[in-house]
């Protein structure tokens, strides 16, 4: 797929900052002061369009964007996950896009874990505006804290349909292994990991692409244990950041225990 440069986001970096410099609160004000805010209510596509417009004309945002997002919604239409766990929610762009796609495919619960309470508050407000408050639940915490809390509360106990990794890059492997240990990954679970080129994630790629035999050896030496018996089938899909830079997503299907 080609990148449409007419839709490019502005550069993320402003005075050395990529986020957290007031742009997320400014986005919320922009959206609620939008001349067509009443038409945005209950309309995920229009809320996403308004967020894109802000990032194209005011300040860049670290959202997955339309191009990479379309790859993930295709995966969701094919696999029809009934529950989704997202790690790294930011201002709710992917939660709105994928929560809506999950609902359309018959799914019921989307958990979006976000470390920053401020970003989580913005996401909660935009999810509500998009009409997805019954589907998308925003959880404040690190990936590991969110997974454990949802598990302890009994909200995530059995196999998850899809896990979307888009948070702290060095935590992808540790948080996947935590899900594996808790029995949340099984035959049919799809793992989607963003930013596999920008900046890339060699330890995660190594784990999801390894054979069961190799993972058993890797797991013995590792401090953080996973479930090496889970067999994965993984593919690397090239695409573009919303700024137009090349990036890729790793899409991994769990085939069950060997
Ligand atoms: C690239 S953004 C997520 C973008 C979002 N998924 C989207 O496409 O709309 C990464 C987010 O992960 C959050 N984050 C960073 N470290 C985290 C961690 N350990 N656990 C959960 N979230 C984290 C950041 O605050 C940031 O909002």
Asked if residue 89 is part of any domain, the answer here is yes
Counting ligand 1 atoms within 8 A of each CB, the residue from 115, 116, 143 with the most, and so the one to mutate, is 115
Domain range holding 245? Answer: 64-257
> Which residue's CA is minimally distant from atom 6 of ligand 1?
89
Q: Calculate how far, in angstroms, residue 112's C-alpha sits from the geometric centre of ligand 1.
A: 10
From the alpha carbon of 86, which atom of ligand 1 is closest?
6
Strand residue runs (E) in 22-108: 83-87
Whether 13 is in a domain gets the answer no
The answer to whether 203 touches 256, Cβ cutoff 8 Å, is no
Is residue 107, in this structure, part of any structural domain at all? yes
Cα–ligand 1 centroid distance for 95 (angstroms) = 11
| CATH for 226 | 3.40.50.150
At 98, list the tokens. Answer: 């994928």
Counting as low any pLDDT under 70, the low residues of the chain are 1
Tell me if 55 is assigned to some domain. Answer: no
Ligand 1 pocket, Cβ-based, cut-off 6 angstroms: 62-64, 87-90, 93-94, 113-116, 119, 142-143, 166-168, 171
| Sequence-distant (≥ 6) Cβ neighbours of residue 228 within 8 angstroms | 212, 215, 216, 218, 219
pLDDT at 83: 98
User: By the 8 A CB rule, do 103 and 94 touch?
Assistant: no
Structure confidence at residue 157 (pLDDT):
87
Domain count, the chain: 1
Nearest residue CA, atom 1 of ligand 1? 62
112 within some domain? yes
Beta bridge partner(s), residue 231:
256
Residue 42 lies in a domain: no
Cα–Cα distance, 114 to 12 (Å, whole number): 19
User: From CA 60, how far away is CA 8, in angstroms rounded?
Assistant: 9
Distance between CA atoms of residues 255 and 194, nearest Å: 21
pLDDT score of 46: 98
Treating both helix axes as pointing N-terminal to C-terminal, what angle do 23-32 and 44-57 enclose, rounded to 10 degrees?
A: 130
DSSP 36-104: THHHHTT-HHHHHHHHHHHHHHT------HHHHHHHHHHHHHHH--SEEEEE--TTSHHHHHHHHHHHH
Cα–Cα dist 224/104, whole Å: 36
CA dihedral of residues 11, 17, 20, 24 (deg, nearest 10): -20
On whether residue 242 sits in a domain, the answer given is yes
For residue 213, the CA-to-ligand 1 centroid distance in Å is: 32
Q: What is the DSSP letter of 169?
A: T
Residue 9 lies in a domain: no
Q: How far is the CA of 92 from the centre of ligand 1 (A)?
A: 10
């Amino acid at each position: 797929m080609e990148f449409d440069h007419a839709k490019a986001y502005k550069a993320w970096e402003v005075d050395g900052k990529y986020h957290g410099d007031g742009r997320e609160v400014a986005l919320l004000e922009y959206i609620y002061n939008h001349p067509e805010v009443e038409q945005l209510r209950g309309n995920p596509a229009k809320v996403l369009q308004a967020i894109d417009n802000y990032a194209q004309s005011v300040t860049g945002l670290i959202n997955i964007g339309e191009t990479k997002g379309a790859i993930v919604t295709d995966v969701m239409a094919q696999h029809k996950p009934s529950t989704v766990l997202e790690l790294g929610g930011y201002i709710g762009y992917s939660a709105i896009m994928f929560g809506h796609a999950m609902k359309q495919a018959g799914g019921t619960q989307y958990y979006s874990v976000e470390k920053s309470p401020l970003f989580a508050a913005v996401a909660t407000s935009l999810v509500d505006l998009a009409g997805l408050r019954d589907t998308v639940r925003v959880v404040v915490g690190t990936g590991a804290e969110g997974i454990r809390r949802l598990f302890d509360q009994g909200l995530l106990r059995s196999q998850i349909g899809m896990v979307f990794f888009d948070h702290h890059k060095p935590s992808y492997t540790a948080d996947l292994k935590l899900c594996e240990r808790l029995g949340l990954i099984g035959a049919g679970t799809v793992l989607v990991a963003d930013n596999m080129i920008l900046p890339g994630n060699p330890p995660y790629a190594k784990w999801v692409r390894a054979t069961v035999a190799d993972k058993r050896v890797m797991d013995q030496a590792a401090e953080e244990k996973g479930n090496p018996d889970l067999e994965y089938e993984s593919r690397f899909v090239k695409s573009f950041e919303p700024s137009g830079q090349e990036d890729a997503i790793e899409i991994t299907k769990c085939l069950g225990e060997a």
